[in-house]
Amino acid sequence: MDEVSLRPITLAELSGLRHEIAVAERPSGRPPEFLVIRYSGEYRSGSAGRGDALYIVATAAAARKAWWSRSTVLDFQDLEYHWGDEMEWVTSIVWDPVTCFHEPLSVVVGERCRDALRSLLREGYARFCVETLEQAFALCRQQEQVYDQRLMEFRDRTERGAAADRPRG
């Protein structure tokens, strides 16, 4: 039998970026209103940035699992980003493949990433990106209302479809 050799690895090996996580405090027993994940460092340009994008997506996914919140805020104010297509993956962090729409998300941009993100995300920039944390919280609250409405419509369609599939008689 072949011997398998295992090498320990960490997410830090993907990227030189760093992150910290914060939640908006609420009364005991209630989930936080906002999960804020702040990234800092220099995102590598072009295909060299693939590991950086994977780091952002992986750490955000882990944070969302560990500290569930209705709204996710990615804070890129301290992130330097010039170009690299994989950065577009950040909006997939809140994409729900069952309902086919995004959960509430906002991205706080800074001077060192604003123009590149605007160029990359195009329509998505106006939908997700803001300049301050206060704007991010306001945008997420607006998105929550839209999300709740769409979720209710989705559930109604699903229930009607299930009822139509039941055998009669």
43 falls within a domain:
yes
31 falls within a domain:
yes
Distances (CA, A) of 119 to 22, 89, 113: 28, 14, 10
Q: Can you tell me the mean pLDDT for 32-43?
A: 96
Q: What is the DSSP string of 54-121?
A: HHHHHHHHHHHHHS--SEEEEEEEEEE----GGGGGGGGGGEETTTTEEPSEEEE--TTTHHHHHHHH
62 falls within a domain:
yes
77 falls within a domain:
yes
DSSP bridge pairs for 35:
23, 72
Which pLDDT does position 28 carry in this prediction? 80
**45, pLDDT greater than 70:** yes
Residue with tokens 């590991």: 51
Which pLDDT does position 165 carry in this prediction? 59
Digit-coded pLDDT (tens) for 95-153? 988 888 999 999 999 999 999 999 999 999 999 999 999 999 999 999 999 999 999 99
How many of the other CB atoms lie within 10 Å of CB of 60? 23
Digit-coded pLDDT (tens) for 57-91? 999 999 999 999 999 999 999 999 999 999 999 99
134 falls within a domain:
yes
Q: Indicate the length of the chain as a whole number.
A: 169
Q: Choose the weakest-confidence range: 37-41, 127-131, 164-168.
A: 164-168
How many domains, the chain? 1
Which pLDDT does position 25 carry in this prediction? 85
5 falls within a domain:
no
Q: Can you tell me the mean pLDDT for 17-32?
A: 90
Q: Can you tell me the mean pLDDT for 32-47?
A: 95
The whole domain housing 49 covers: 11-165
Q: Can you tell me the mean pLDDT for 33-46?
A: 96
159 pLDDT band, cuts 50/70/90, is: confident
Tell me the C-alpha distance between 73 and 139, whole Å. Answer: 10
Which pLDDT does position 138 carry in this prediction? 98
160 pLDDT band, cuts 50/70/90, is: confident
Q: What is the CATH number of the domain that holds 39?
A: 3.30.750.24
120: phi then psi, degrees, rounded to nearest 5? -75, -50
